[in-house]
Amino acid sequence: MSDVAASPSDLRAIPVDDLTIEQAQAELAVLAAEIARHDALYHQQDRPEITDADYDRLVRRNGAIEARFPELQRSDSPSLRVGAAPAAGFGKVRHAMPMLSLGNAFAPEEVAEFVARVRRFLSLPDNAPLAFEAEPKVDGLSCSLRYEDGRLVLAATRGDGAEGEDVTANVRTIRDVPAELPPPFPAVLEVRGEVYMTRDDFLAMNRARAERDEPPFANPRNAAAGSLRQLDPSITAQRPLCFFGYALGETSERVADTQSGIRRRLKGWGFRLNRPAARLGGVEALLRYYAGIGRRRAALPFDIDGVVYKVDAIDLQERLGFVSRAPRWAIAHKFPAEQAQTRLKAIAIQVGRTGALTPVAELEPVTVGGVVVSRATLHNEDEIARKDIRVGDLVTVQRAGDVIPQVVGVILSQRPHESESFVFPDHCPECGSLAVREPDEAVRRCTGGLICPAQAKERLRHFVSRNAFDIEGLGEKIIEEFRNDGLVRSPADIFTLKDRVKRGEITLVGRPGWKEKSVANLLDAIEERRNAIALHRFIFALGIRHVGEVTAKTLARHYGSLDAWLEGMKAAAREMPKPEWAELRTLKGLGPASVDALRAWFAAPENLETVRFHANAPDLRPETALRNLGIKELKQPAITALVERYGTFAACLDGLRTAFAGAPGDAWTELVNVRDVGAIVAEEIASFFLEDRNLEVIEGLRAAGVRVEDAEVRQAADSPVAGKTVVFTGTLTTMGRNEAKARAEALGAKVAGSVSKKTDYVVAGADAGSKAAKARELGVTVLSEEEWLALAGG
């Protein structure tokens, strides 16, 4: 692809209708970079290199390709900012309170589960009333408006939820957004809502664009996003944008006790609200509301993709809080996906970062819910086999919201006669290494590791991605070019670029699209990351399987510093339980208590003599010998199990010794007990650390001077439970188990799943069982629920 991208003029000779999807994608990338470069030359440096007519040709070509392949539109597409005066771009804004997204429900059972989850969390009995506020889910983009002393001072897009873009000047041009609020209002008020465009305005705007030979927008959402993200507010002013308020961010005082109350206040301040809303109790009422809105959907003047249910009482919302990016107190109930039928032209196999082979359907382009789709995911090989999907089949494709389109099934009556079942490759299409499947896994993986160019490429792309190192100017495309040209092979190479440039070993200036200034900016951006990268970003960037952003954050918080984490992970890898131990633990008849007792007994030096004595008495039956050891926890079923498994007494001794040697150590136990981790994730982390080439990547980064910041210790360091490890067990009465955990974590405590020497407190509710007993045995403080509440401050 890189040689194609290097000569855009060749590509432009191909009529748009003849472009393959790969060519189209490559050319859109080239056009985005090239148009951005001309924008900068024209607007910032006042020295254009091409005529206005040639510039227009580039923009039109870009628009025409996007019109044919709308799914290829890039987030940095020039058509999202045509005519803009690209100054330095938008300023960044840190949100005072994170801007959340919403969890999704599709089936009625998922709505019921949401309601049940809320009740469980709050420990609300089934008959206690619980009201929800329901409203349509508008398909636009979310925006936060900050008012100080009643005046609009800042408007920001959501961005990644923590940090967005400053679009104040543009938002001031939206008529629905009041510049000043009528009193009374709190000194600080953040209004969260959705910027959107009505369907009629969208159609009118596209008609006008067509008359001016401008490419159309694919749907109202894109049109709204493109209009809001104009760098020139006078252009936004001409776009028919609207705004709905639906929630609050930071406020200097409480403005209402309920969600419906918030709506009334918003209305009083002059905001438009998304209607029709309703205050409802119970799953049936929610589902009736959903069905009703579904029926009225086409008649509403704007696009909606579902409805939102929110717990009405604000104090309950506060107790529920949020998990990762979504509130526990709200959920989006989405409308079913839109479907269409088309031919499956081919099945391509992509190789991902962890070597997973993913089948992708290449389709005759078809419009699904207003967007042209030409590729769809096929998930994995079992899915293809189960649905018997064959090349040449007529297939049903569906698309829901922002998710990747998927192939739902085959229309068998339309199957061509000569079709054959699809044979999934057992070798990596990229490097030819064997591709294997673990017995309990759905995916087949390339075994080539970093010798596989596809894996190496994906790992690098992951390394620089937004939630990882996120180096400005070093996006996925550039890193791929650098890799193809041998400038960057492993992550550490990014941080030696500057030195290599200085020493004259490589040159960046003069590469297509790179000038003195852009190279200097890139090297500065790299320096900034070298000097400080948050620990969780570093962990996430390594691309360990199953370690997503949330787990990376939990690990960072738990271990605190890079050194502590690395030491912990290496130790955990060494101390991973061996299969012999796992086998002993699963022998029927041998509970954890008898295993613990056996292990303790065999570890005690004073028992050695007894063992030797019995081992030298070969005519004793093994059952008798085991019983004679005098271990009181070793009951008859356990003895039978051991003899059945190992045979003779000597073999029992041998088997036990090997199993005990394979028992997990404290570092492993600690890792497994970190919230969100568990055995499967821990195994992935351990196997990552058992591979030398992974350790080399980490050492390489440290040697290149990358400085990793310690994780913030959770807020409330002055809380008496900050930094303490707590285990909850038994039934709690004032709140659900999950709420208890969430609150403890908010106070800076670490919540673990099982009791060890490192546990500080075990909070025992009603019917607390073995965990409380184990705590007493280990001398760990056991608290009642009341004592815990008193300690943690109520």
**By the rule CB under 6 A, 194 interacts with ligand IVH:** yes
Draw the binding track, 141-160, toward ligand IVH (x: CB under 6 A; -: no contact).
Answer: -x------------------
DSSP structure class, residue 40: I
Query: Minimum Å distance from CB 655 to ligand IVH?
Result: 55
**By the rule CB under 6 A, 137 interacts with ligand IVH:** yes
Segment 289-308, which members bind ligand IVH (CB under 6 A)? 308
* Single-letter amino acid, residue 58: L
Q: Provide the β-strand partners of residue 376.
A: 361
**By the rule CB under 6 A, 363 interacts with ligand IVH:** no
Are the C-beta atoms of residues 764 and 729 closer than 8 Å to each other? yes
Orientation of helix 562-574 relative to helix 678-689, angle to 10°: 100
**By the rule CB under 6 A, 101 interacts with ligand IVH:** yes
70-73: list long-range contacts, CB under 8 Å, 24+ apart: 70/218, 70/371, 70/372, 71/371, 71/372, 71/373, 71/374, 71/375, 71/405, 72/21, 72/24, 72/25, 72/28, 73/28, 73/218, 73/222
Instruction: State yes or no: is 137 an active-site residue.
Output: yes
Q: What is the DSSP string of 742-789?
A: HHHHHTTPEEESS--TT--EEEE-BT--HHHHHHHHHT-EEEEHHHHH
- Closer residue to ligand IVH in complex, CB, 194/458: 194
- Closer residue to ligand IVH in complex, CB, 308/497: 308
Near ligand IVH by CB under 6 A, which window of 99-107, 221-229, 356-364, 384-392? 99-107
- Closer residue to ligand IVH in complex, CB, 332/535: 332
- Closer residue to ligand IVH in complex, CB, 102/674: 102
**By the rule CB under 6 A, 227 interacts with ligand IVH:** no
Q: Work out whether strand 278-281 and strand 131-138 pair parallel, antiparallel, or are unpaired.
A: antiparallel
CA dist 704 and 247 (Å) reads: 46
- Closer residue to ligand IVH in complex, CB, 98/425: 98
Near ligand IVH by CB under 6 A, which window of 20-28, 100-108, 467-475, 509-517? 100-108
Near ligand IVH by CB under 6 A, which window of 34-42, 131-139, 341-349, 556-564? 131-139
Binding-residue total with ligand IVH (CB under 6 A): 15
- Closer residue to ligand IVH in complex, CB, 221/444: 221
- Closer residue to ligand IVH in complex, CB, 306/730: 306
Draw the binding track, 606-635, toward ligand IVH (x: CB under 6 A; -: no contact).
Answer: ------------------------------
Query: Minimum Å distance from CB 327 to ligand IVH?
Result: 5
364-369: list long-range contacts, CB under 8 Å, 24+ apart: 365/68, 365/69, 366/340, 366/341, 366/342, 366/397, 367/340, 368/338, 368/339, 368/340, 368/397, 368/398, 368/399, 368/405, 369/337, 369/338, 369/399
**By the rule CB under 6 A, 79 interacts with ligand IVH:** no
3-state secondary structure of 230: coil
Residue nearest to ligand IVH (CB): 142
CA dist 740 and 206 (Å) reads: 52
Instruction: Give me the torsion for CA of 62, 68, 70, 72, rounded to 10°.
Output: -70
Handedness of CA 5, 9, 12, 13 (dihedral sign): negative
Options 5, 26, 82, 138; binder of ligand IVH; rule CB under 6 A: 138
Query: Minimum Å distance from CB 145 to ligand IVH?
Result: 13
| 210-242 per-residue burial string, b: 16 or more CB within 10 A, e: under 16 | eeeebbbbbbbbbbbbbbbbbbbeebbbebbbb
Catalytic residue (choose from 92, 137, 457, 750): 137
CA dist 754 and 190 (Å) reads: 41
Near ligand IVH by CB under 6 A, which window of 78-86, 134-142, 700-708, 783-791? 134-142
**By the rule CB under 6 A, 246 interacts with ligand IVH:** yes
Query: Minimum Å distance from CB 322 to ligand IVH?
Result: 7
Phi and psi at residue 244, to the nearest 5°: -115, 140
**By the rule CB under 6 A, 102 interacts with ligand IVH:** yes
Report cis status (omega within 30 of 0) of the bond before 276: yes
Near ligand IVH by CB under 6 A, which window of 130-138, 254-262, 470-478, 647-655? 130-138
Near ligand IVH by CB under 6 A, which window of 133-141, 234-242, 288-296, 664-672? 133-141
Options 100, 576, 677, 791; binder of ligand IVH; rule CB under 6 A: 100
Chain mean position to CA 602? 46
- Closer residue to ligand IVH in complex, CB, 121/246: 246
Chain mean position to CA 528? 25
Query: Minimum Å distance from CB 275 to ligand IVH?
Result: 10
Element (H, E) at 208: helix 199-211
- The tokens for 353 are 């970062």
Options 62, 157, 258, 274; binder of ligand IVH; rule CB under 6 A: 274
Q: Work out whether strand 104-105 and strand 330-334 pair parallel, antiparallel, or are unpaired.
A: parallel
Distance linking the first and last C-alpha atoms of the chain: 61
CA dist 465 and 469 (Å) reads: 6
**By the rule CB under 6 A, 332 interacts with ligand IVH:** yes
DSSP structure class, residue 158: -
Query: Minimum Å distance from CB 308 to ligand IVH?
Result: 4
| Residue carrying structure tokens 């009529």 | 15
Segment 642-701, which members bind ligand IVH (CB under 6 A)? none
Options 80, 115, 205, 247; binder of ligand IVH; rule CB under 6 A: 247
Q: Where are the alpha helices (DSSP H) in 40-174?
A: 52-68, 108-122, 168-171
Query: Minimum Å distance from CB 271 to ligand IVH?
Result: 13
Query: Minimum Å distance from CB 118 to ligand IVH?
Result: 14
Give whole-number Cα distances, 705 to 530, 708, 709, 710, in Å. 7, 9, 13, 15
Options 34, 39, 135, 190; binder of ligand IVH; rule CB under 6 A: 135
- Closer residue to ligand IVH in complex, CB, 309/728: 309
Near ligand IVH by CB under 6 A, which window of 120-128, 136-144, 354-362, 478-486? 136-144
Q: Is 177 exposed, middle or buried (0-12, 13-18, 19+ CB in 10 A)?
A: buried
**By the rule CB under 6 A, 105 interacts with ligand IVH:** no
Angle at CA of residue 676, ends 672 and 677, nearest 5° = 30
- Closer residue to ligand IVH in complex, CB, 111/452: 111
- Closer residue to ligand IVH in complex, CB, 177/686: 177
Draw the binding track, 308-327, toward ligand IVH (x: CB under 6 A; -: no contact).
Answer: x------------------x
**By the rule CB under 6 A, 251 interacts with ligand IVH:** no
Report the 10 Å Cβ neighbour count for 255: 19
Radius of gyration, CA atoms only, the chain: 31
Options 330, 410, 460, 643; binder of ligand IVH; rule CB under 6 A: 330
Q: What is the DSSP string of 285-308?
A: HHHHHHHHHHHHGGGSSS-EEEEE
- Closer residue to ligand IVH in complex, CB, 308/316: 308
- Residue 347's Cβ-side half-sphere holds a number of Cα atoms within 13 Å equal to 26
**By the rule CB under 6 A, 569 interacts with ligand IVH:** no
Query: Minimum Å distance from CB 101 to ligand IVH?
Result: 4
CA dist 760 and 719 (Å) reads: 14
- Closer residue to ligand IVH in complex, CB, 302/540: 302
**By the rule CB under 6 A, 171 interacts with ligand IVH:** no
Which are the catalytic amino acids?
137
Q: What residue ranges bind ligand IVH (CB under 6 A)?
A: 100-102, 135, 137-138, 142, 194, 246-247, 274, 308, 327, 330, 332
